[in-house]
Amino acid sequence: MKAVLLKSIGKKDLEKTFGYSATAGILACFVFALVLEDLVAAIAFGFAFFATAFMAQLFLPLLREKQRAELIERDLPFALMSVSIDLDLNIAFEKCILNAAKGNSEIAKEFRRIFSDIREKGQSTQQAMLAFSQRTKSTAVKRAVLQLNGFYEQGSGSNEKERGSSEAVRRLALELLAKQRSESKAFSGKLVVFSLIFIAFSAIVPALFQSFAIVGSIVLAMELTPMQILVAVTIGFPLLDLMVLFFIRAKTPACLRG
């Protein structure tokens, strides 16, 4: 895991990441010291902010790679259907790849890169397809590459073999579409719960906090300063709402994202 993180962020950028995180932690410590008027608590919050910022910068490249793989998987079935139709029409394999490369989607960009590797860099079709599989880190892409490479290797065989291979590509595309539909249905059931959670954190919890702050200051003699209440209402709860929204977006299947 350590090697993957170092590779994703780069060893030269590790010191820069540490510096940015330390600066953010010191600033957070200063702000919390002014708000809380408690040096020990401010140092604790500053250290927590530093650790959060440092880990976020380490894992951000991995998250971006994962999101890109999800976008490729989202459009992969349609690209495979396009390729299988062209294969049935006896169009040359490289021309099939070029036809699937039309558009601005991530999968189209990858097919353009495959075509460029074959034509401009002189790589074999199998090598270019395998390179696509290795840089995407997706099981669905690996299966698609195996099917396409299998068709390319059998392309010089009988028409029956060619039809069988193109049919296998089409079946894989339909299987991936069925999986996306299943994920969409499962998320629809969870969306009601996510909506209730967001309503609770965006409306109910802030209202309860403000009521508790008013009653507590009168009945329980709690020592909440106006600045602390202001920071909680204007900064703390909106950040909490953003965290809930990011969580919901992370749980949303790529096929349902805009």
Range of the domain at 85: 70-180
Q: What percent of the chain has pLDDT over 90?
A: 19
Residue 159 in domain: yes
Residue 140 in domain: yes
The tens digit of pLDDT for each residue in 135-166 reads: 888 889 999 998 888 888 776 444 555 555 67
Q: What is the pLDDT of residue 157?
A: 45
Residue 134 in domain: yes
- At residue 221 the predicted structure's pLDDT band, cuts being 50, 70 and 90, is low
User: Who wins on pLDDT, 63 or 37?
Assistant: 63
- pLDDT (average), residues 116-130: 89
Eight-class DSSP state of 95:
H
- pLDDT (average), residues 54-63: 76
Residue 105 in domain: yes
Confidence (pTM): 0.71
List Cβ neighbours of 73 (8 Å cut-off, separation of 6 or more).
138, 140, 141, 176, 254
- At residue 76 the predicted structure's pLDDT band, cuts being 50, 70 and 90, is very high
**Residue 77 class from Cβ within 10 Å (0-12 exposed, 13-18 middle, 19+ buried)?**
buried
- The total number of structural domains in the chain stands at 1
Q: How far apart, in whole angstroms, are the C-alpha atoms of residue 168 and residue 150? A: 10
With a cut of 60, say whether residue 4 has pLDDT above it. no
Residue 142 in domain: yes
With a cut of 60, say whether residue 90 has pLDDT above it. yes
Q: How far apart, in whole angstroms, are the C-alpha atoms of residue 154 and residue 119? A: 21
